[in-house]
Structure 1
Amino acid sequence: MKNLGTASIAAFRQYVRAAESAGADTTALFTKAGLDPTILDSDDGRINGEQFQRFILLLCERTHNPTLGLETGDFVQPGSYSVLGYITMSCATLGEAIARIAPFEKLVGDMGTTELAMSQGCIKLTWHCNYNHPTVRPQVVDNVFASWITYARWLADDTTASPTRVYLKRELPGPELEQAYRQRWNCPVHFGADKDTITLKQELLNTRLRQPDPLLRKTLEAHALTQLASLDTDTDLISQVKHSIQQQLMHGITRQDMVAETLGITSRTLQRKLSQEGVSYQKLLDDVRQKMAEDYLLNSDLGIPDIALRLGYSETTSFHRKFKAVAGKTPGEFRASRE
């Protein structure tokens, strides 16, 4: 059986609010799912993924509502996304907020992963659901997309903002219900698709949000990275090193000895441990630099020389050469291709 990981209490609360609104006996649902109601008292807690899936299944059976997931999107709040919700609130544009989904969505839970792609002037957000129960899975996908759309409209302070199209792997839950999707999302919805995907016009990325706060965003992202490091089940060492590198790069520093010091080990020990993981410090530095470079180019007005300096390059030409080797484009070409 596939390990469903964990889910944040913040994400779980959204379903509890929906259950209460539907008049469901939440105490009975908690008991049958093997959950203690007092877990709702914790803002930082997490629950077992199998229990979360079980709770959603019980709620589906209790309500007999084929569009339950669609309607639970009405109960989304910034807190539903844990610290990611507050990061997106502090972003300047919708594009900046969308770019934060994939790196930090694990904080919300292990329900699925997001893939972002650009094609012919459109943004494609594809969500790969990890939940496998045939009744639960389509409801979870509906919930994620409905929540994204509702929350994006709130962030942009625009109730008319809509995707261009939505593609769902699920089969249509009865012809009479198709209109429910189109009315809520104000766009064509295609069922029986190969992937669960939302497409957006690229110009929507420039939509200004209501509460931009770049300093708060940086603080929240640093906190989020710390939380991610504690959740990473693959290798805590690599997560910790990447986090430390990112913190240094915010000050234009790239010293391996300082990274080792933050971990309480020597630089030589760090090299040996990374070698055992099959990576090098330089590889991790390159990865973090590239990710931060793309973020600066997409979501800031910083000049390319300033970006190079922030990322610890002594010369802008070195930044150009390294970036092009990875992305296949110069930083300027990369930025222009996204406009």
Structure 2
Amino acid sequence: MNTLGTASVAALRQYVRAANARGIDTGSLFTKADLDPSNLQTDDGRINGEQFQVFIRLLCEESNNPILGLETGDFVQPGSYSVVGYITMSCATLGEAVARIAPFEKLVGDMGTTSLSMNGDDLKLTWNCNYTDPVIRPQMVDNIFASWINYARWLADDNKASPSSVHLRRSSPGPELEQAYTERWGCPVRFCAGEDAIVLHKALLNTPLRQPDPLLRKTLEAHALSQLATLETDTALTHRVKHSIRRQLMHGITRQDMVADHLGMTSRTLQRKLSQEGVSYQQLLDEVRQGMAEDFLTNSELGIPDIALRLGYSETTSFHRKFKAETGKTPGEFRQLKAE
């Protein structure tokens, strides 16, 4: 099952714009990452987090650029943050905009989480990246921070507004490239730090923004809360789907249309909702099958051909092959090991 959640198409677009500017063929990257380029045409679409991570990894390899994340921040737009971008645009001050990051950042994606803390006259925004690839993590953090700083300057209509300091866990890209950070951010940047954080002087939070609109902000926030509720409902959907799959498998049935019907929706709607959650029906079916197979092998005396039949396999050999791919052992070896 996907452990990286989902990301908004808006977040993907920023990387695509950066790649196109460098003359990189994004079509091949989409193919290798198993992503559909037509996703870019949707305004509220979401993509699988694992695939997003693969796409960025491929982009890193193709560009061979150790500060790719920093440079992609140059391509941030209000739309890069989905509805959150438009909420911040309607805020009255930079402080109001900063306060909207943590509550709504899940709408942008599950790439990481933000926490805010005050220390004297300073506000610290700490970002914890959820992505696990050691090549991707530093580039992702660089992208997030570069995007935040560029976007804040645009909101405030002040290209010179800068943090007090930026702390990065990543190692230094080298003395020559360190200058790219300080030139863009206009503040000291500490590498090999204990956290990824931006420190702002609290006086900066009073900076007025260019397009305050309290009424529009409230309307957009209500819409954002509705979208968050939908995401949370969809997260619970996987549990309902797996429960329905278990019921069907007790009769040797693995039909997606019957599971969808049981949940009161069409097969196409189920597929779309699962895709938004970053999983597929086949992934959930495989997960449930594996759990039931291990349970049957451990706690029953059913023969292996009978287990395969109950789990909806047309051939016992298919069950053997899939089980060994998951555990490294055949069903018989697994049963014997559990019996010892």
Question: Does residue 204 in structure 1 map to residue 190 in structure 2?
Answer: no
Aligned residue runs from structure 1 range 1-339, under 5 A: 3-232=3-232
Task: Name the counterpart of 2:311.
Answer: none
Deviations 1:200-226 (A, max 9, x none): 000011000000000000000000000
Look up the SS of the partner of 1:232 in the other structure.
helix
Q: What amino acid sits opposite 1:74 in the alignment? A: D
Identify the structure with bigger relative contact order (alpha carbons < 8 Å, sequence gap 6+). 2
* Distance change (3 Å), C-alpha of 1:92 and 1:188: same
Task: Name the counterpart of 2:243.
Answer: none
> Structure 1 CA distance, aligned partners of 2:2 and 2:44?
25
Residue 235 of structure 1, CA deviation: 7.7
Residue 233 of structure 1, CA deviation: 5.9
> Structure 2 CA distance, aligned partners of 1:133 and 1:9?
20
* Distance change (3 Å), C-alpha of 1:234 and 1:119: farther
> Structure 1 CA distance, aligned partners of 2:152 and 2:233?
30
C-alpha contact (below 8 Å) 2:115/2:127 kept by paired residues: yes
If the length of structure 1 is used for normalisation, what is the TM-score? 0.68
Task: Name the counterpart of 2:246.
Answer: none
Deviations 1:256-312 (A, max 9, x none): xxxxxxxxxxxxxxxxxxxxxxxxxxxxxxxxxxxxxxxxxxxxxxxxxxxxxxxxx
Q: What amino acid sits opposite 1:91 in the alignment? A: C
Residue 152 of structure 1, CA deviation: 0.1
Matched positions, count:
237
* Structure 1 alignment gaps of length 5 or more: 237-339
**Max Rg structure:** 2
Identity of aligned residues (%): 73
If the length of structure 2 is used for normalisation, what is the TM-score? 0.68
Deviations 1:314-333 (A, max 9, x none): xxxxxxxxxxxxxxxxxxxx
> Structure 2 CA distance, aligned partners of 1:94 and 1:37?
35
> Structure 2 CA distance, aligned partners of 1:38 and 1:175?
41
Look up the SS of the partner of 2:114 in the other structure.
strand
Residue 2 of structure 1, CA deviation: 7.3
> Structure 1 CA distance, aligned partners of 2:110 and 2:235?
17
Aligned-CA RMSD value: 1.5
